[in-house]
Chains A and B, each alone.
Chain A
Amino acid sequence: MTSLAMARRRATAARVWGQFRRSRQGMIGLGVLAVFALVALAAPLLADVRDLNPVFARAEGNAQWASPFDHPPLGTDYIRRSVWAQFVWGSRVSLFVGLAATVLTVLIGSVIGIVAGYLGGRSDGALMRVTEWFLVIPFLPLAIVLASVLGRSVWIIIFVIGITSWPSTARLVRAQVLTVKQRLFVDRARSLGAKGSHIVAHHVLPNVSGLILANATLAVPISILTETTLSFLGLGDPSSASWGKTLEEAFVNGAMVRNAWWYFIPAGFGILVVVLAFTLIGRTLEEIANPRLSRAR
């Protein structure tokens, strides 16, 4: 890449950040997310991983169903494990699955959107037909049957979310590619003898990347909520417990009838706050990428 293009891209990044910094909702979202990212990264410092082990919890002398007042900060569950430790370590799994599934979603969606939009014609028709199929099939039931059949692991959950939620990204990217393709600089590059791969990499991609980023940020909440629901329905990975898995165990083991609110409030609250943070950031990025929206919001 020439230094000219590098400089231009750096300038664009600086402009986007400048606009982002002025948005209150965007900065709140970013701040909240930073806190949770820190919790996830610093999990070993915040809670002993052995607290997740019921045998260790029993040896420690924890009581069953201890409230936060008896066992600070968040009490214990039905097999004496610390809820705080589950919250801290669960944040890792939930954030990781949410982000990884989104990366997969956006990767599949962008590749299909760019190929369909750039090639046009029959390949466009065929790809869009497949996209439509996936768009119409109800997303959660599809994820449920896939996960039921494939098994219970973090990687399968990521795969299932990625394979079921890419179509809206593909449609969005394709539409944007179609408009970029009409622009004069693409014709100019082509008349100078540029190959298709060069045009896609150097002219189309930079012009759709803003949109892809905004779309990706708004796709994270969907990924996180889907992972939560799948785990709650019993399709989660038994060996690495996400927030959704905590909610499932709380539900199955009767936390609600016992009014053990400390067991299921923290995990759900974590999901709510992280999802809100990503939504706020995503909306801000969307307004920057597509200024027509900010008039309305």
Chain B
Amino acid sequence: MLGSLLTLVFVLVFNFFLFRVVQTDPIGSLFRGRNVPQEVLDELRDEFGLDESQLTQFAYYVRETAQLNFGISYQSRQPVWDEIVSAVPATVTLVGISSILSAVIGTIGGIVAAWRRNTWKDHSITSGTMVFYSMPDFWLGMILLVIFAVVLGWFPVGGMVDIGSTETGLARLLDQAHHLFLPALTLTLAYLGEYTLVTRSSLLDVMGEDYLTVARAKGLRDAMVRNRHAVPNALLPVVTLAAINLGFVLSGAIAVEAVYSWPGLGKATADAIRGPDLPMLQGLFLLFSAAVILFNLLADLTYAWLDPRVEGA
């Protein structure tokens, strides 16, 4: 608990110094190569609080951050917090759905692979997931996009709804699902591998245990031994992995969102990099870090609750 708080403070300090000290003149870089009158620059510097001392700026920064004021985006000239909040639902929908699908499918794949160890099923599942795991997720997205959206035309090439669409209710929801399909498929395939490999190796560890022999000796059927005795004991690392991955729901799809122009936090990050829109990047980084820290804490607590032996550690 205290550790998590300390980490958050560390992120805050780090975030401030990284952006304020290393990048000395954000206003200058904002208008790079363009001819802007000096008084306009000075006015902007004053507006963004850039001509105060470092210490004053830091105190100012902490106070404003506590009030969720992350400054004004260089690009849109809107408050960073508003920009971020409006992008959260799109990301949570996309990454949330993909995370659930990949956890379920990946775990089942891992169970099948372990239970049928060294058969063709095991080999095809293991090598298939390894391949998806080894490619850049956005490259997979590019390929799926070209095949299914450009060549076959089954799905839209990007965005969240058709441009200029005025539909409401169910029609709008269907339109969104239509746009969601390809990015969600990409992320599901990209996330699968981790779950499959973790489940497989955890289940293989359990499979050597004596109590499974006992269960078999009792005359239980194979499926019963697997579902009642082996799998529940092998799932602990999988649960932990899922809990930790929850922290990455906000930051897990940066490049894939960029490929599909999915209007979430990932695309906001990619756009902010191009600027560079430093207040936006700073706000996003703080949010991404806070999410991971929070869910790590939750994962620790869940772990202790599921496995009482951890309590002391």
Chain A residues near B (Cβ < 8 Å) = 129, 132-133, 136-138, 140-142, 144-146, 148-150, 221, 225, 228-229, 232-235, 244, 247, 250-251, 256-257, 259, 261, 264-265, 268, 271-272, 275-276, 279, 295-297
Contacts and interface: CB of A to CB of B under 8 A. Distances in A.
Interface of B: 3, 6-7, 10-11, 14-15, 18-19, 22-23, 130-131, 134-136, 138-139, 142-143, 145-146, 150-151, 157, 201, 204-205, 208, 247-248, 251, 254-255, 258-259, 269-270, 273-274, 276, 278, 281-282, 284-285, 288-289, 291-293, 296
A71 to B, nearest CB: 20
A-B interface, 6 closest residue pairs, ranked by CB to CB distance from nearest? A268-B139, A275-B134, A272-B135, A296-B204, A141-B288, A276-B134
A186 B116 CA distance: 44
The binding surface of chain B is classed by DSSP as helix
B23 A149 contact: yes
A98 to B, nearest CB: 13
B132 to A, nearest CB: 9
21 contacts: A133-B7, A136-B292, A136-B293, A138-B288, A138-B289, A138-B292, A141-B288, A142-B289, A148-B273, A225-B136, A229-B254, A233-B255, A233-B258, A233-B270, A264-B142, A272-B134, A272-B135, A275-B134, A296-B205, A297-B201, A297-B204
B151 A145 contact: no
Contacts of A136: 7, 289, 292-293, 296
Nearest to A130: B10
Given A136-B289, A145-B285, 7 more contacts: A141-B285, A145-B15, A148-B276, A250-B142, A272-B135, A272-B136, A279-B134
Contacts, number: 128
A297 B204 CA distance: 8
A130 B22 CA distance: 21
Contacts of B273: 144, 148, 233-235
A251 B135 contact: no
B201 A256 contact: no
Given A144-B269, A272-B135, A259 B255 contact: no
A265 B144 CA distance: 12
A178 to B, nearest CB: 15
The binding surface of chain A is classed by DSSP as helix
Contacts of A145: 15, 18-19, 281-282, 285
Given A142-B285, A144-B273, A149-B18, A272 B131 contact: yes
Contact of B18 (A132, A138, A146, A275): A146
**Which of B131, B151, B285 is the most central at the interface, judged by chain A CB atoms within 10 Å of its CB?**
B285
A177 B100 CA distance: 38
Nearest to A280: B130
B204 A271 contact: no
**Which of A150, A229, A256 is the most central at the interface, judged by chain B CB atoms within 10 Å of its CB?**
A256
A141 B204 contact: no
B255 to A, nearest CB: 5
A138 B14 CA distance: 13
Contacts of B282: 145
B282 to A, nearest CB: 7
A215 B24 CA distance: 38
Contacts of B258: 232-233
Given A141-B284, A141-B285, A142-B285, A259 B151 contact: yes
